């Protein structure tokens, strides 16, 4: 069975079912250097009679004991045997202390401890006692809702957002009369832990970047009725609501400039995209200085903000953020915005956030996802189709067969494993990013603006993370400087 994913010039690939014989053929064609992670994975698969796999985004399946634990930062084995100019792995290994990831992490811990621990201080979580309920429940009691008053100060209004671990309301502070945003965790330990991690990140940023217009301002936080409450400034709609036409006209903050044939906005204006790029690059530069990785940059997590006639955006939802030196599960970032090093199971740092930013800015330009996919294998296929081949040293160093992912790269194709003695071949069809941007550009967009935006995206979405510049350096890019 064959299937073509999307028409040119969008990233596309041909899917074809293959059996065990073809699978072993592509294993032999991969021919990774001896000693690399991919070499060990393929040799192991050749000796096994049954080929198991699973989808990285199936979280329930990931808990199955037969797949073992996900690879940690320590499980990466650098391709020291392929340190040559052909694979351009010198910068990669130098970035990780000659390939010693443990030393890299310990060094980062010392640096971050010296820089940040004094600024962040203790969490100082205020616990508000309720004699009727003082702990966790297996089932959320739904007592927090519109019209309820929390700790005699916050009158809860309408629901404005909901996620797997939290709900978000508009609220009114009875003390000041101001409208605020209240994010409430669910009554479970995982949700509480994520909320506490987000509060810690916001406290650290507030201490390091006082009165910064590009950082979310947290006003209050406390523990009440088994939940963590975080009170923050109330911002405008998110970028997805803006470019999809779901935002009300009085909330566009000047970011909407293009109108589709149906009458609703199809994408952001060029000025809006440059404003978003500038604001988020400034925010990411601050995060890089703090050693923080956001981990979930996407249009839904970027809110419009208009103060004193100046328009900007702010990055929210730091529940997935962590220091780059911490041991965390390698499953990070929403799939359409996932960096290739993340999809390949390689070490990552704050440069992965730059990739997500590039994928998001491209989406704001064209009005749809740049890399749609149903799993990591088809994501990598879409990336190869639009941006070219993954660097050989990265493909050889990947741990995809023993970790979260179930695919490998061979002969320019992505080979996905999904069952016993069977697989799926994704053959990328070459496309062109500039052609895609040209066909989707708005009226009045000249070739110079198109070239500048294309150049910015190629820098943000460099396949090799060591080739991506620092976010601060990109603030001098012509497309970013053009922001009003």
| Residue range 59-108, pLDDT digits in tens | 233 222 222 332 232 332 222 222 223 333 344 444 444 445 566 556 55
- Do the Cβ atoms of 333 and 296 come closer than 8 Å? yes
| Residue range 110-156, pLDDT digits in tens | 655 555 554 555 677 888 877 665 555 544 555 677 888 999 899 99
- How many helices (H) and strands (E) in the chain? 15, 16
Q: Could you check whether 128-233 and 235-481 share the same CATH topology? A: no
What is the reported pLDDT for 313?
Answer: 92
Taking the C-alpha atoms of residue 193 and residue 440, their distance in angstroms, rounded to an integer, is 42
Taking the C-alpha atoms of residue 283 and residue 449, their distance in angstroms, rounded to an integer, is 24
**Fold type of domain 235-481:** Transferase(Phosphotransferase); domain 1 (1.10.510)
Return all residues near 312 (Cβ < 8 A) that are at least 6 apart: 213, 214, 275, 278, 279, 305, 306
Which percentage of the chain shows pLDDT scores above 90? 29
Taking the C-alpha atoms of residue 383 and residue 371, their distance in angstroms, rounded to an integer, is 7
For residue 266, pLDDT over 60 is answered with: no
Region 307-331: what's the mean pLDDT?
A: 78
Q: Where are the domains of the chain?
A: 128-233, 235-481
Long-range own/partner contacts, residues 42-50 (CB < 8 A, 24 or more apart): 42/401, 42/408, 44/401, 44/402, 45/401, 50/420, 50/421
**Fold type of domain 128-233:** Phosphorylase Kinase; domain 1 (3.30.200)
| Residue range 158-167, pLDDT digits in tens | 998 888 889 9
Taking the C-alpha atoms of residue 369 and residue 441, their distance in angstroms, rounded to an integer, is 15
């Amino acid at each position: 069975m064959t299937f073509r994913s999307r028409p040119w010039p969008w990233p596309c690939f041909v899917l074809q079912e293959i059996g065990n014989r073809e699978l072993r053929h592509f294993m032999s064609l991969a021919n990774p250097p001896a000693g690399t992670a991919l070499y060990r994975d393929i040799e192991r698969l050749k000796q096994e009679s049954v080929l198991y796999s699973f989808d990285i985004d199936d979280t329930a399946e990931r808990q199955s004991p037969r797949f073992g634990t996900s690879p940690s930062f320590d499980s990466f084995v650098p391709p020291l045997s392929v340190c040559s100019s052909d694979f351009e792995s010198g910068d990669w290994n130098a970035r990780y202390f000659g390939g010693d990831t443990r030393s890299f992490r310990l060094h980062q811990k010392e640096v971050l401890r010296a820089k940040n621990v004094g600024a962040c201080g203790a969490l100082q979580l205020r616990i508000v006692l309720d004699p009727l309920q003082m702990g966790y429940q297996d089932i959320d009691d739904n007592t927090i809702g519109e019209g309820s008053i929390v700790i005699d100060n916050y009158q809860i209004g309408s629901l404005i957002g909901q996620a797997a671990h939290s709900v978000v309301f508009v609220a009114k502070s009875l003390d000041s009369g101001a409208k605020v945003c209240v994010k409430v965790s669910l009554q479970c330990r995982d949700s509480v832990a994520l909320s506490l991690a987000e509060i810690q990140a916001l406290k650290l940023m507030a201490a390091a970047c006082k009165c910064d217009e590009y950082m979310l301002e947290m006003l209050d936080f406390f523990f009440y009725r088994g939940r963590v409450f975080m009170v923050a400034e109330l911002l405008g709609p998110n970028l997805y609501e803006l470019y999809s036409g779901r935002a009300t006209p009085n909330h566009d903050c000047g970011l909407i400039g293009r109108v589709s044939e149906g009458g609703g906005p199809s994408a952001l204006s060029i000025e809006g995209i440059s404003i978003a790029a500038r604001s988020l690059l400034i925010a990411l530069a601050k995060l890089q200085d703090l050693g923080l990785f956001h981990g979930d940059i996407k249009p839904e997590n970027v809110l419009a903000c208009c103060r004193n006639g100046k328009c900007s955006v702010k990055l929210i939802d730091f529940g997935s953020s962590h220091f780059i030196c911490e041991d965390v599960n390698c499953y990070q970032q929403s799939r359409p915005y996932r960096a290739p090093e993340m999809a390949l199971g390689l070490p990552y740092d704050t440069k992965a956030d730059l990739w997500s930013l590039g994928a998001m800015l491209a989406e704001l330009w064209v009005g749809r996802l740049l890399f749609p996919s149903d799993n990591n294998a088809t994501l990598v296929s879409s990336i190869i189709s639009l941006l070219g081949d993954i660097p050989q040293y990265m493909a050889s160093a990947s741990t995809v067969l023993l970790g979260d992912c179930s695919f490998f790269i061979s002969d320019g194709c992505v080979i996905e494993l999904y069952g016993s003695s069977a697989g799926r071949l994704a053959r990328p069809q070459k496309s062109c990013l500039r052609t895609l941007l040209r066909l989707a550009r708005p009226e009045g967009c000249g070739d110079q603006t198109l070239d500048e935006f294309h150049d910015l995206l190629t820098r943000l979405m460099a396949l090799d993370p060591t080739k991506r510049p620092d976010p601060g350096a990109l603030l001098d890019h012509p497309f970013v400087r053009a922001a009003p």
